[in-house]
Amino acid sequence: MKAAIYCRLSDEDERIVDESESIQNQKAMLLHFALEQGYDVVGIYVDENWSGADRNRPAFNQMLRAAEKREFEILLVKTQARFSRDAELTELCLHRKFPEWGIRFLSLVDHADTDNAANKKTRQINALVDEWYLEDISRNVRASLETMRQQGKNVASLALYGYLKDPQDRHHLIPDPAASQVVRAIFHMASKGMGASNIALILNTQNIPCPSQYRQFRDDKLHTMEKRMWNDVSVTNILKNPTYTGDMVQGRIRSSGYKTQKRVRVPKEEWAVVPNTHEALVEKEVFEKIQQQMAERRVQSQRPPKIRPLSGLVKCGVCGGNMIFSGNDRVCAADGYPGGIMRCSRNRSNPMECQPNKIRLYLLEEEVQKRIRGFLKHYYLPSEVPPLPRGKENETIGKKRRQLETELQRCTTLAKQLYLEKCQGRLSTEAFMQKNAELSRQQAAAQMELNQLPRDCSVRLMNNEEKQQKLLRMRVLKDSLILDRELCRSVIREIIVHPAPPTGKIEIHWKF
């Protein structure tokens, strides 16, 4: 028989179990058992440093896909806890999916065997105990970390950008010689009134790596990470972090539970704050000044953004990136037209990423209007729209529909009464069959006539109204200077703007 082996070990297990729980020991024990039983081992699946409550384990999910394809018949694990510490997942796999797929589950140490119906309750109890065990560990770890936070010790797995973990005390932060200078420069530019987007542009222009990129350079394990750039979010996250003032501020975000990776924000009054635990990179007075400036900008920009007809459809013809609106809708004094432009977002973030590529928005909209109108001139035929039914016809149809629905209800009530009379002996079987057949014919005729009404009238009414509305929108677009966003998104796949003077070459890809 074909068998598969699954082994798992988590960080928590490594701290509290002995060498007998190692991956190597689990493999050796399971392979020896398979050899004794004469099983053909067709797959070995290993998850190391993965919690038993995590459903995203790569080898575990690979094993489940192989089980669903019936690539093996027996799954061997050392203990049921190695398979999972999630009671719900264990119940789903062992007692629903595996029997459906024809998979036998065997654990050597605690003797779980899905072919043995007598120990099903034992398996279920063990699953609950395994989950309670994990819950207890999570509670203890949370309590330990909270104690350390209240003592001002850094408990994050990675040091905050701008700092390093002290080699003498990994819970203490010391300034990173290179990154700390970048953080100081960011706060200095912000204190002079510069916005986050402009700060990001300067950092990208100077080829300064962003926090994730900088961490990649320092850690050999992260060299496969894609290249990233500074943006307004990464700059704002630094400007809003009070840890740079020398106070240890932790617990701002926490996990919603030990069985999920979802993170939730914590109210400010619940943060763990211990003052003066490490060297500050910015003075507290400067930090508070910047927070006030950022708050004032948020108040000024609280009005909802304007949704433009071509938003999300315009691409740069050089790099393929999105082109975004820049500027405002105020009329330019030089030519009397709105001064807003569409420009390459990559060039805006970093001029080294793409060459300058921009176009006046009003010129782009005029060109799109011109081309859509060209289509409408050939395809807009109002004479093809059928006339809408008159109001009197609608009233007659509604009255007929109500009559038929009443007739159907009458037939259903009479059929129930006939059946009760037959059961009580007041109506013979022959009479019941005859009257019931007549009712069935009446009911079928009424239902057929009712079914024809929507096809003949109601649907036709709806289709005609939809056509009238679409043609009305097309007529408005044809005769006016205002683009319709709904129509643009329904007919345009993307607009590519190439840098060619004076207005740029515009290439439109249609959806038809």
Cα 271 to Cα 252: distance, rounded to the nearest angstrom = 6
Question: What is the model's pLDDT at position 60?
Answer: 94
Place of tokens 């896909």: 65
Cα 75 to Cα 44: distance, rounded to the nearest angstrom = 10
Q: How confident is the model at residue 397 (pLDDT cuts 50, 70, 90)?
A: confident
Question: What is the model's pLDDT at position 413?
Answer: 82
Supply the mean pLDDT for the chain: 80
443-499 per-position pLDDT tens digit: 888 888 877 764 444 444 445 555 555 555 555 555 554 577 777 887 888 989 888
Q: Any bridge partners for residue 498, and if so which?
A: 505
What is the homologous superfamily of the domain 163-300 according to CATH? Putative Large Serine Recombinase; Chain B, Domain 2 (3.90.1750.20)
b/e string for 284-302 if b means 16 or more Cβ within 10 A? eebbeebeebeeeeeeeee
Question: What is the model's pLDDT at position 455?
Answer: 47
Q: Parse the chain into domains and list their residue ranges.
A: 2-145, 163-300, 314-381+488-510, 383-483
Question: What is the model's pLDDT at position 284?
Answer: 92
Q: What are phi and psi of 2, to 5 degrees?
A: -85, 130
112 touches 126 (CB < 8 A): yes
Min mean pLDDT across 21-25, 336-340, 438-442 is at 336-340
Question: What is the model's pLDDT at position 368?
Answer: 86
Per 3-state DSSP, what percentage of the chain is helix, strand, and coil (rounded to 5)? 55, 15, 30
The total of other beta-carbon atoms located within 10 Å of residue 348's CB is: 20
CA distances from 308 to 118, 291, 373 (A): 67, 31, 19
Question: What is the model's pLDDT at position 16?
Answer: 46
Question: What is the model's pLDDT at position 260?
Answer: 64
The total of other beta-carbon atoms located within 10 Å of residue 144's CB is: 11
Cα 414 to Cα 407: distance, rounded to the nearest angstrom = 11
Question: What is the model's pLDDT at position 98?
Answer: 93
Residue 219 has pLDDT above 60, yes or no: yes
Supply angle C-alpha 131, 134, 132, rounded to 5: 40
Closest C-alpha to 76, from 48, 50, 114: 114
Higher pLDDT, 389 or 9: 9
Query: In this structure, are strands 505-510 and 163-166 parallel, antiparallel, or unpaired?
Result: unpaired
Residues in the chain: 512
Residues of the chain above pLDDT 90, percent: 26
Q: How confident is the model at residue 293 (pLDDT cuts 50, 70, 90)?
A: confident
94-141 per-position pLDDT tens digit: 999 999 999 999 999 989 999 988 888 888 888 888 888 877 877 887
Strand order in the sheet with 323-326: 323-326, 341-344, 358-360
Report for 165-179, 212-226, 305-319, 358-372: range of highest mean pLDDT: 165-179
Question: What is the model's pLDDT at position 40?
Answer: 93
Residue 283 corresponds to which tokens in the numbers above? 């003075």
257 touches 249 (CB < 8 A): no
Question: What is the model's pLDDT at position 289?
Answer: 92
Min mean pLDDT across 219-228, 382-391, 437-446, 487-496 is at 382-391
104 touches 73 (CB < 8 A): yes
Question: What is the model's pLDDT at position 386?
Answer: 47
Question: What is the model's pLDDT at position 367?
Answer: 85
Higher pLDDT, 5 or 327: 5
Question: What is the model's pLDDT at position 215?
Answer: 84
Q: How many helices (H) and strands (E) does the chain have?
A: 18, 16
Residue 278 has pLDDT above 80, yes or no: yes
The total of other beta-carbon atoms located within 10 Å of residue 372's CB is: 21
Question: What is the model's pLDDT at position 97?
Answer: 93
Cα 465 to Cα 463: distance, rounded to the nearest angstrom = 5
What is the homologous superfamily of the domain 2-145 according to CATH? Resolvase, N-terminal catalytic domain (3.40.50.1390)
Closest C-alpha to 189, from 230, 229, 217, 159: 230
Residue 275 corresponds to which tokens in the numbers above? 């003052």
Residue 403 corresponds to which tokens in the numbers above? 């009559």
- Over range 354-378, report the average pLDDT: 79
The total of other beta-carbon atoms located within 10 Å of residue 116's CB is: 13
- Over range 163-173, report the average pLDDT: 91
Ramachandran quadrant class, 276 (left: phi over 0; alpha: psi -120 to 50; beta: rest): left
Report for 70-84, 211-225, 495-509: range of highest mean pLDDT: 70-84
12-35 per-position pLDDT tens digit: 554 444 444 688 889 999 999 999
239-265 per-position pLDDT tens digit: 999 999 999 988 888 776 666 667 778
Residues of the chain above pLDDT 70, percent: 80
